[in-house]
A = this chain, B = another copy of it.
Amino acid sequence: MAGADDSMDVPETDELTPPNRTLMGPGPSDVHPRVLRAMSTPLVGHLDPSFVEIMDEVQELLRYTFRTDNRWTIPVSGTGSAAMEAAIGNVVEPGDTMLVPTNGYFGGRMASMARRAGGEVVEVDAPWGEPLDPAQVSDALAEHDPDVFGFVHAETSTGVLQPNVPELTAAAHDHDALVIADTVTSIGGVELRVDEWDVDVAYAGPQKCLSCPPGASPLTLSDDAMDKVLSREEDPRSWYLDLSLLEGYWGDERAYHHTAPITNVYAIREALRLVAEEGIEERWERHERLAGALKAGVEGMGLEMNAPDEYWLPSLNAVRVPDGIDDGEVCGELLERYDLEIASGLGDLDGEIFRIGCMGHSARPQNVIYAVTALGDVLESMGADVDPGAGVTATRGALE
């Protein structure tokens, strides 16, 4: 079997020994040990009758977590952006118009996906760091008459939680538009009620408030939305993410489409079991309580939150970078000295905010106290005008 390429060196690669980080960035969050253990389970085939049972269980647990009875509730075989593209690429047909927001990074991604699906994009204006105003959304709906309206429930780039979701969906439905919600950073962490709020399509990521490694990502569609998908005139532009084909695998037929990422399905099953054991509302409350202690800590040391309290997103805390401080240096020091991950800003807020996650298994007293302490120490050592002791005291008080 000798060939001309036999001289190619054999790469020498050491044992996998990544650093032991504490993950308080915008995701991934710390993964629960039970989920990690589930991932070391030997595989069964993706068409094995025992795997079909596991698929049923995952679908039921996803429905519980999304608060929906939607039949079309599945984990998409990819990361959150794959679930996002499965939503937009199937619901938006060539010639359709999609209304997207401009108030954060992920509205821009929605626009790009809608255009690639063959859709026209129109925008509802809102500055970065502000939620959408239902009146403005109504005006945009009246002006553009879109087929689809997308919004971001929890904007990871700005730390803003969209309030008044039922008003937004009612306005969209008044104009016969289907609603797609980005719930990547809200699912399992802040109140989200797909059915009660009349959201037609919601997609999410597993590596945020579900604390599950990325690789299989939640998606749910109402019957109305799925009717549109199944009556398309033209095939969706992705075969991999074609929901009419995936329906054959995740629906009654269980026909082969692609090889599901079996281990990732094991993982999300265990992560969702933890959600069910805790109770979804108790989980929302825990995030609010723990993130509240984090917020008390950063405010207590003298820092400012980027979002006003009414729009505060517990799972992603956007904190203003103090004057004269380089955000990248702070993140680097935290990683280097404390093995702690937080993140810089993105897009319009690049250089202006830190993004500190408080998600899933990372929404724990250990992580919150550690993050507040480490951030205070590093900022003080860089000469920022902060009072680390007051920060820790405020966090302790909030946790009592």
Q: Which residues of A contact B (CB under 8 A)?
A: 1, 3-6, 8-13, 16, 18-21, 23, 25, 27-28, 30-31, 36-51, 54, 57, 60-61, 63-64, 67, 69, 77-82, 84-85, 89, 109, 112-113, 115-117, 191, 193, 195-196, 205, 207, 213-215, 235-241, 256, 258-264, 266-267, 269-270, 272-273, 276, 279, 281, 284-285, 335, 341, 343, 346
Contacts and interface: CB of A to CB of B under 8 A. Distances in A.
Contact of A259 (B21, B43, B80, B236): B80
A41 to B, nearest CB: 6
Given A13-B273, A269-B13, A196 B5 contact: yes
A317 B50 CA distance: 25
Given A21-B44, A42-B30, A46-B28, A196 B264 contact: no
Contact of A18 (B20, B50, B259): B50
Contact of A28 (B18, B40, B43, B61): B43
Given A23-B45, A269-B13, A18 B54 contact: yes
A187 to B, nearest CB: 15
Contact of A40 (B40, B81, B259, B284): B40
B215 A85 contact: no
B240 A82 contact: yes
A215 B264 contact: yes
A5 B258 CA distance: 34
A41 B28 contact: no
What is the oligomeric copy number?
A: 2
A333 to B, nearest CB: 13
Given A21-B42, A116-B237, 11 more contacts: A3-B67, A3-B196, A6-B281, A13-B273, A18-B48, A18-B50, A25-B45, A79-B261, A116-B239, A117-B237, A213-B261
Contacts of A51: 18
Nearest to A54: B18
A153 to B, nearest CB: 15
A375 B273 CA distance: 38
A303 to B, nearest CB: 22
A361 B258 CA distance: 22
A13 to B, nearest CB: 5
A31 B13 contact: no
Contact of A64 (B10, B18, B25): B10
Contacts of A116: 235-239
A262 to B, nearest CB: 6
7 contacts: A1-B284, A28-B45, A77-B78, A79-B260, A109-B239, A117-B237, A215-B264
Contacts of A78: 77-78, 82, 240, 261
Given A85-B240, A213-B43, A50 B260 contact: no
